[in-house]
């Protein structure tokens, strides 16, 4: 690259990893993401560190766990003292812009300037699901004036992003484009796809095994959900086309990821907030810059690893207090050292913790409620992902797996300590 790379974060909300073709979905929902993953770097094993909107977003903005940011449940604003991606890119001479859903301030709509995490251009809503609907997109500009954008919500935000890219094409920019889709519409608990799209994917054409086995709201909502995913992928293609037409594609890094996934009320009363793959595993890929022809990365990567990766790729020093780590040394083969598990902090539905290794999923829960952490947990789940990839057979009380639980218990406590938490007492499930 002859200049600082532009950086775009294409951020979806509540998107399962297995909506994508590169993860085996046969419906052709994501040709643009699939091409991006194959031509760039596909983070094959990508997981959120907090399966709920606000806490996950605090981690993606800061590179820190939600217990460190203080945003352990929705509704807790990100501290005004928190250093976000925008601050680091601002200091490196970038134009910074935020479009879409924020969910890190107080209130539902307009976000005061001091609560915008340092982003200079602003066209967003704190709780986009509460200030807009599928065909009624209302966001707020730099002056906190309400702006109604025309079109289906995905298209409306994409149009705004393309306008921003065109306006900033002569200067390096960092754009965070945050969609609501394929999150449900809270006001009527539905997944409103663009007109005509839901009908393409009805009739149970492809239902992931965990959803087929457990039911939930799958059969009512999956077709609409797939329709939303399809439109998001078309939006990704439009962004890629706009960059190409402006001769910016080769000078732009794109990160595609999501805050958490969706289990359609099969694991608890809601759509996320659990340790299961259907809550925590998300599609993630990079394109451009160091990520060209990066192949499929098999290491387990957490959401907290993405901010230091973006800074590293843009040539910006990674702060020592970030709790994630850049994946670039893995791509350049400069290191083979990488954690063998990811840590997940669970809140709102429970106070829980989990680790996910390449083979095992181990999760604990606390009797405490609505707190950031606890000093005591009880074993809740143990899954052997090698023999039970859809997590249908809980082994947490199996006497044959006592030694596995003991080892994973020690690993979980170690990871919690590394994340800045106190070492808890973890009681066996049979106590």
Those residues with Cβ within 8 angstroms of residue 285's Cβ, 6 or more apart along the chain or in another chain: 33, 36, 37, 40, 41, 42, 43, 255, 256
Q: Where are the alpha helices (DSSP H) in 314-394?
A: 328-331
* Per-residue confidence (pLDDT) for residue 370, from 0 to 100: 75
Quickly state the pLDDT bin for 334 (edges 50, 70, 90). Answer: confident
Determine the angle formed by the axes of helices 53-62 and 306-313, rounding to 10 degrees. 30
Average per-residue pLDDT in the chain?
96
**Per residue in 178-232, pLDDT tens?**
999 999 999 889 999 999 999 999 888 999 999 999 999 999 999 999 999 999 9
Rounded CA-CA distance 370/74 in Å is: 10
SS (H, E, C) 282-314: CCCEEECHHHCCCEEEEEEEEHHHHHHHHHHHC
* Per-residue confidence (pLDDT) for residue 203, from 0 to 100: 85
Average pLDDT over residues 149-159: 98
Average pLDDT over residues 287-300: 96
Rounded CA-CA distance 248/329 in Å is: 26
Rounded CA-CA distance 69/297 in Å is: 28
Average pLDDT over residues 63-72: 97
Residue 1 has pLDDT above 50, yes or no: no
Quickly state the pLDDT bin for 102 (edges 50, 70, 90). Answer: very high
Rounded CA-CA distance 369/225 in Å is: 31
Rounded CA-CA distance 159/148 in Å is: 12
Among 191, 194, 225, 193, CA closest to 208: 225
Q: Are 228 and 181 in contact (CB under 8 A)?
A: yes
Residue 126 has pLDDT above 80, yes or no: yes
Residue 2 has pLDDT above 60, yes or no: no
Delineate the domains of the chain, giving CATH numbers in brackets.
6-331 (3.40.720.10), 350-427 (3.30.1120.10)
Average pLDDT over residues 71-94: 97
């Amino acid at each position: 690259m002859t200049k600082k790379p532009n950086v775009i974060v294409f951020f979806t909300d509540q998107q399962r990893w297995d909506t994508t073709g590169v993860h085996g979905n046969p419906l052709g929902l994501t040709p643009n993401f699939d091409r991006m993953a194959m031509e760039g770097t596909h983070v094959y094993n990508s997981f959120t560190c907090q399966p709920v909107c606000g806490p996950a977003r605090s981690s993606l903005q800061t590179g820190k766990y939600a217990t460190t940011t203080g945003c352990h449940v929705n509704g807790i604003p990100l501290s005004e003292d928190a250093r976000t991606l925008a601050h680091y890119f601002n200091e490196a001479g970038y134009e910074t812009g935020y479009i879409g859903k924020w969910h890190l301030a107080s209130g539902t709509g307009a976000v005061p300037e001091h609560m915008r995490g340092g982003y200079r251009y602003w066209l967003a809503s704190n709780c986009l699901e509460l200030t807009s609907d599928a065909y009624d997109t209302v966001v707020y500009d730099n002056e906190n004036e309400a702006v109604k954008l025309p079109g289906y919500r995905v298209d409306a935000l994409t149009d705004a992003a393309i306008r921003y890219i065109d306006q900033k094409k002569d200067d390096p920019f960092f754009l965070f484009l945050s969609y609501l889709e394929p999150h449900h519409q809270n006001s009527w608990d539905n997944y409103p796809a663009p007109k005509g799209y839901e009908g393409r994917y009805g009739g149970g054409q492809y239902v992931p095994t965990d959803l087929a086995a457990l039911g939930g709201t799958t059969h009512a909502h999956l077709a609409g959900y797939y329709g939303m995913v399809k439109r998001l992928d078309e939006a990704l293609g439009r962004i890629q086309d706009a960059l190409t037409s402006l001769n910016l594609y080769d000078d732009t890094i794109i990160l595609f990821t999501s805050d958490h996934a969706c289990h359609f009320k099969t694991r608890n009363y809601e759509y996320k907030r659990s340790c299961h793959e259907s809550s925590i595993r998300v599609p993630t890929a990079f394109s451009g810059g160091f990520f060209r022809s990066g192949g499929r990365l098999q290491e387990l990567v957490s959401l907290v690893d993405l901010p230091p990766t973006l800074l590293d790729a843009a040539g910006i020093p990674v702060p020592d207090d970030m709790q994630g780590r850049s994946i670039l040394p893995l791509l350049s083969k400069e290191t083979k050292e990488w954690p063998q598990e990811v840590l997940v902090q669970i809140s709102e539905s429970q106070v829980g913790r989990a680790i996910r290794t390449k083979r095992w999923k181990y999760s604990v829960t606390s009797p405490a409620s609505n707190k950031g952490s606890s000093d005591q947990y009880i074993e809740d789940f143990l899954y052997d992902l090698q023999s039970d990839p859809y997590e249908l057979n809980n082994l947490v009380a199996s006497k044959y797996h006592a030694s596995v639980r003991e080892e994973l218990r020690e690993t979980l406590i170690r990871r919690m300590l590394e994340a800045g938490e106190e070492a808890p007492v973890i009681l066996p499930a049979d106590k």
